[in-house]
Amino acid sequence: MMKVIPIVSGRTAAAHFAGGPLVDTRARGMHDLRISVTDRCNFRCVYCMPRETFGADHPFLPYSAILSFEEITRLARIFVGLGVQKIRLTGGEPLVRRQLHRLVAMLAELGVEITLTTNGSLLAKQARLLKQAGLHRVTVSLDSLDDATFRAMNDADFPVARVLEAIDVAAAEGLTPVKINMVVKRGVNDDDIVRMAEHWRGTGHILRYIEYMDVGSSNGWRMDDVIPSAEVVRRISARWPLEPVDANYTGEVAERWRYVDGAGEIGVISSVTQAFCATCTRMRLSTEGSLFTCLFAESGHDLKALLRGGASDDGIRNEIAAVWQRRADRYSEIRTEQTAKLRKVEMSYIGG
């Protein structure tokens, strides 16, 4: 049985967490930690970091404000002690953070699965070092195979060919299975749904279609722009029949489908049309050390102040446990066109 003894810590009512299963107010465990290692990105994807908001004068975080590799590793160790089994490095673009392989090597010592989500632009050069440091797998974002569409969506004039090359290099280095994330936006890249399926079928890589979400406050999201996953599955099935596959584990984000002809599987991530809040076991650590218990949160919990204020590991552990025990988030279950307008924190800051 878990014991919770409220103590007043000054900033929040912290608790003494005495072990046992750590669950939130909806009985969800804490298994996955996403760490944003930088709020910077070399792409300006129109649905994530639109140039109008993230222009040349955007105030990105100064180096002194962001967590060091040592600080990240210390927190990660505490999270693992509380039950985290999987760590995903993300951003911003994680590979723009210098020497990221050093962080991977430090985290690899914790003995949990380490993965990375990247736009692939800097991956070919770093794949070997990352693998040697202990990275298990990569997820590469790729929204289109059409060069003009892809360049328009990343708004950095970055060619498709270089991302395809990076995927090959990552696979050759054993960062497998490579997952490929495609955000689908109606009228922008939905022509690519079937083309992407055709390209990745039979490669062993897993293509995942993501419903366009109202993350942050700057992408001008409208429900009309969302292509429901059910439609994605229908369009692909009309060409190559698909059948559902059981989830690998409870709380898996992507719903799995496999080609009846044996050419592998795809995933669909339906945060908008089939919310999966009920099984969400994720938390996010922002670049500057704030803890967010939901991708759509408006504010986080400052762990950097604890780290830099001399708190003990036990003190930090109790604070994290208390945050999780109070967690009641279920944004995707209550999303409307109105909630979409709330001032939510940007995805590049808390980590995608």
267 in contact with ligand SAM (CB under 6 A): no
Cα 298 to Cα 216: distance, rounded to the nearest angstrom? 9
Q: Is 256 helix (H, G, I), strand (E, B) or coil?
A: strand
- Residue 41 contacts ligand SAM per CB under 6 A: yes
Q: What are phi and psi of 137, to 5 degrees?
A: -150, 165
Pairing of strands 290-292, 4-8: unpaired
Nearer Cβ to ligand SAM (17/349): 349
Q: Which of 29, 91, 267, 300 binds ligand SAM (CB under 6 A)?
A: 91
DSSP 234: H
CB of 38 closer than 8 Å to CB of 287: yes
Contacts to ligand SAM from residues 139-168, by CB under 6 A: 141
Does position 38 bind ligand SAM by CB under 6 A?
no
d(CA 118, CA 103): 15
Determine if 292 is a binding residue for ligand SAM (CB under 6 A).
no
Is the peptide bond preceding residue 241 cis, with omega within 30 degrees of 0? no
In sequence order, what are the residues at sequence separation of 6 or more whose Cβ sits closer than 8 angstroms to the Cβ of residue 189? 143, 144, 146, 149, 153, 182, 183
213 binds ligand SAM (CB under 6 A): yes
Is residue 90 a contact residue for ligand SAM (CB under 6 A)?
A: yes
CB-CB contact of 39 with 349 (8 Å): yes
Give least dist CB 185 to ligand SAM, A. Answer: 8
Examine residue 219 and tell whether it contacts ligand SAM (CB under 6 A).
yes
**Of the candidate residues 104, 112, 180, 183, the single one contacting ligand SAM (CB under 6 A):** 183
**Cβ–Cβ under 8 Å, residues 207 and 192:** no
**Is 350 near ligand SAM (CB under 6 A)?**
no
Taking CB under 6 A as the criterion, the residue among 38, 73, 117, 126 binding ligand SAM is: 117
> 23 vs 146, which CB is nearer to ligand SAM?
146
Nearer to ligand SAM, 24 or 39 (CB): 39
Closest contact distance (angstroms) between CB of 243 and ligand SAM is 25
Angstrom distance (rounded) from CA 63 to CA 275: 36
Pairing type for strands 113-118 and 206-211 reads: unpaired
Query: Which one of the spans 4-12, 209-217, 256-264, 314-322 is the region binding ligand SAM (CB under 6 A)?
Result: 209-217
47 binds ligand SAM (CB under 6 A): yes
Which of the residues 226 through 265 are near ligand SAM (CB under 6 A)? none
Burial 22-50 (b: 16+ CB within 10 A, else e): bbbeeebbbbbbbbbbbbbbebbbbbbbb
Token pair for 201:
């079928």
Pick 141 or 287: Cβ nearer ligand SAM: 141
Q: Given the complex with ligand SAM, which of 115 and 141 has the nearer CB atom?
A: 141
215 touching ligand SAM, by CB under 6 A: yes
Written as six digits, the tokens of 282 are: 């994720």
Q: How far is the CB of 80 from ligand SAM (least distance, A)?
A: 22
Please tell me the distance from the alpha carbon of residue 141 to that of residue 170, in angstroms, as a whole number.
Answer: 13
Smallest separation (angstroms) from ligand SAM to the CB of 316: 26
Residues that bind ligand SAM (CB under 6 A): 41, 47-48, 90-91, 93, 117-119, 141, 181, 183, 210, 212-213, 215, 219, 347-348, 352
